[in-house]
Each structure stands twice: as C-alpha cells, then as structure tokens.
Amino acid sequence: MSDNVSSSMLETIARVIGEAVKAGQIATLRDVAPLLMRDCQLGEADALAVAEAVSRKWQDRFFPPISRIELFLTENCNLRCDYCFVEGKNALGSMSWDTARQAVDLLFRESRDQKDLSIFFMGGEPFLRFDVMRRVVEYATELGKAQGKHAKFSVTTNGTLLTEESLAFCAQHRMMILLSLDGAQETQDRHRKTAGGQGSFQMIMDRLPLMKRYQPWMGARMTVTPDAVGEIAANVRFLVEHGFNYFIIGPASGIDWSDEGLEVYEAQMRQVVDEHREALAKGANLRIDLLRELENLRDKVGVWGCQAGRHSITVACNGDIHACSKMLGLNDLDGIYKLGDLARGITETGARAELIGMWAKRNTRCMTCELADSCSGGCFATNYAATGSIYDPCESECRVVARNLSIRRYASQVLGDAHGREDTEACTV
C-alpha cells in the first residue's frame, strides 16, 4: 500500500468501509475501490491497494481455507460427447504452464494450515495437456515437501489418449485415474463419439490391459441418459466382468427427466444393489459411490450447498477463478459468481459468501420439503441453468434427488454394513 495512505486516513477508511458493510453496500472488490475514491479521496492506485488488502483480511478471517483445486487444463477434446457440459459453451482454450503454476501457488497459499491438499485435472480431455499436468504434479510435490504439506492428484479422462509413459508417470505419483465410461459398446458409442463420428468404446478397451498394469483398481464414471436408463445393471455387470471395481453412477444433468424414466432408473439401481450384495458376499472388492453416500448423509443433516467455493475452487484456462467446473461451463453466468483471477487472487468475497451462506436464503419450497434434511439444495450450476437462481432448485433435479435417496435407503436395508467393509484404500479417488 502506498505511503500516501496515512494512519489517520486508515481510520477514515476503516469507518467508511465499516458503515458500507453494515449498509450492505459492499459485496465485491469492485465495490470497495470506488467507495474509497469517492468518500476518502484516494487515488485509483491507492484505492485498489487498500481494497485488495481488505479483501485479503476478509478471506483470512471469515472464509474457510481452500484444500482442493480443479485445474481446467483445456477446453479441447478429441471426443464429441453430446451431453458434455463443456460442449458448445466456451471458446476452446488451453492452460499455460505459467497459469497452472500460479494456480498451484494459490492453492498452497489459500490452504493456510491445511496439510492434505487435492489437485484434480479436468477438461476437455486433460491428457491433451499432459505436458502441463506433468509439470504441475512435479511442482506441487516439491512445494509440498518444502512447506510440510502433501498434495494428492486425480484425473477424469476419456481414456483414449493414455500411453505407457503417462500411465507410468501417474503410477509413480499415485495419481488416481477415473475413466468416463458409460458401459458396454452399444451404450458407450451412443453418445461418446470421436470428432469423426466413430464410437470410442474400442479405443478404451484396447488400453485397459495397459492401464491395469499400472493401476490395480479400475474406476468408471457412468453417465446415464434417458435412452440408456434401462441398461444400467447390464452395463455395471459388463464392466465388473472386465475388471472394473469402482463406480460413480448418475443421471446426466441438464435433462428434463420424466417420471417414467426415473422409475426405470430406480428399478435398475435397485438391481445393481442386489447384485452388489451378492458380489460382496463372494468376497469381491467393489465400491459404488451412490450407495456409500448413504452413510455420509447421517453426518450431513441440515447441510446446505456443496464444497464449491467453500473448500474447493476451479481455475479456468485463462486463470479466472470459479466455484466449480459446472459454474465455469455456464456462459450465461457472464461473470456472475466468478471468485477472482490468479493475478489478484480470490477477490469476489460477496460471491463466495453467497455460495457458502446459501443456507441463509433457502427457497421456501425447499424449507417445507420432506427431503430438506437429506438434500443439499441441488447443484448451484444446475439450479441457475434451470431457474436463473442458485437458490431455486431445478424441478427435474429434485426428482432425481428423491429417487437417489430412495435407492440409498434400499441399499441400507439390503446391504446393512456390508459396504462398510469394502477395501476403500484400493479404490479411492
């Protein structure tokens, strides 16, 4: 801050900002600087310096530390999955090494006293920028050693670009690889095609033997679409037969699911539960996240919102900071809920406070909903895309949540504590 700002001026600044906060006139860094220029007659440079100092104090005092960061390495992809939330949303950019390095520095700085950190690579197809990914892992590992912290790494990939070099590197650094794979060939190739219109299934299957050599467990992120909802159990069975033992299964978002489609979804997932029980009884090492979340719900009664903007942030290719990857993917937001940029850090304290304090503005319909104590209020981005507000839940998403809770209750009855005995160390991302 400039020496031109005297101690007496600081008292005036503190009073002006305090009164503005009480009056609800300050929400972002952009609000502070003009206020100081107007009421304290500060020059633009001094006003910005004070505003940034105020923002830093707010972050340190009122907001939790950041322990997880998503790096959007690229918006490019060698596939053209028609339900991808990136598809058609943004200009296709890629993250430079300098931007990635600054993002890692931000994570270590904003983590404060947190020792265990997570870096998640995503895109687009992250392995298109394996060069940057490699440097991030090496840099964060060394930074962790210097600061007494530990960073773990994970990536979700379509699997078509995996090579022995990249797999060996990931294994060396214990990076968890999750494949975006919807099931057997007919299901996979229906929506996950190459730019030329060919299916991606065989490209992935050809790489499975190599992947198994470097990562003993195999994980699949299965996105369920209405035209494949009746194939869930068969697809899980197929993947288990091909060595997969970890599953994240969920309906595609941004789709207006019909009651009939969700009825089939629940029936299929109940079948998955039944077959899951049989497999565990035979000693199989399987993990299905949707079923395990039932246990977590018991500790989350009344929790509103998610980790986006709370303990986790996403950094875009150009260095902009967002609450999560889905918020980043919504062009319609036009900067709304952007949290800052790498040049200045997390400066939009008002936007972050709104996300973290979402519980304070619960929609009336949510407050009276019978699922209120088991639902986190829906995805911020999905809510906004459907209703224009992060607070107003997406009607279709509400129906999905209700079905998932029903599935989890069924899983609790059928599995008991059986899924608590899974080998989670072997397949944790």
What are the beta bridge partners of residue 315? 71, 321
Show the tokens assigned to 369.
């909903």
Query: pLDDT digit string (tens) for 375-419?
Result: 777 788 888 888 888 888 888 989 998 999 899 889 989 987 655
Show the tokens assigned to 175.
């990076």
115: three-class secondary structure by DSSP: coil
Region label for 377, one of left (φ > 0), alpha (ψ between -120 and 50) or beta (otherwise): left
For β-strands 320-322 and 246-251, DSSP reports them as unpaired
CA-to-CA distance for 245 and 129, rounded, in angstroms?
A: 28
Query: pLDDT digit string (tens) for 160-183?
Result: 999 999 999 999 999 999 999 999
Show the tokens assigned to 10.
């600081």
Region label for 183, one of left (φ > 0), alpha (ψ between -120 and 50) or beta (otherwise): left
CA-to-CA distance for 118 and 45, rounded, in angstroms?
A: 36
- Confidence (pLDDT) at 70: 98
pLDDT exceeds cutoff 50 at 424 = no
* pTM, two decimal places: 0.85
- Confidence (pLDDT) at 295: 44
CA-to-CA distance for 419 and 429, rounded, in angstroms?
A: 17
CA-to-CA distance for 369 and 299, rounded, in angstroms?
A: 19
CA-to-CA distance for 220 and 205, rounded, in angstroms?
A: 12
Identify the CA nearest to 103 among candidates 71, 64, 147: 71
- Confidence (pLDDT) at 355: 80
- Asked if 405 and 399 count as a contact pair (C-beta separation under 8 A), the reply is no
Compute the 3-state secondary structure of the chain and give helix, strand, coil in percent, each to the nearest 5: 50, 15, 35
Identify the CA nearest to 204 among candidates 227, 222, 179, 186: 179
Query: pLDDT digit string (tens) for 217-231?
Result: 999 999 999 999 999
Provide, rounded to the nearest whole percent, the portion of the chain with pLDDT above 70: 82
Counting every residue written for the chain, the total comes to 429
Query: pLDDT digit string (tens) for 254-290?
Result: 788 999 999 999 999 999 999 999 999 999 999 988 7
Query: Residues 358-364: contacts with CB within 8 Å, 24+ apart?
Result: 358/304, 358/305, 358/390, 358/391, 359/302, 359/303, 359/304, 359/305, 361/391, 362/304, 362/391, 363/391, 363/392, 363/393
For β-strands 219-224 and 287-288, DSSP reports them as unpaired
- Confidence (pLDDT) at 22: 63
| CA 96-99-103 angle, 5° bins | 140
CA-to-CA distance for 279 and 270, rounded, in angstroms?
A: 14
pLDDT exceeds cutoff 60 at 196 = yes
How much is the average pLDDT of 108-114? 96
CA-to-CA distance for 423 and 216, rounded, in angstroms?
A: 12
**57 membership: H or E segment, kind and range:** helix 44-62
**368 or 124, which is more confident:** 124
pLDDT exceeds cutoff 50 at 299 = no
- Asked if 36 and 55 count as a contact pair (C-beta separation under 8 A), the reply is no
Show the tokens assigned to 26.
């300050």
CA-to-CA distance for 358 and 355, rounded, in angstroms?
A: 5
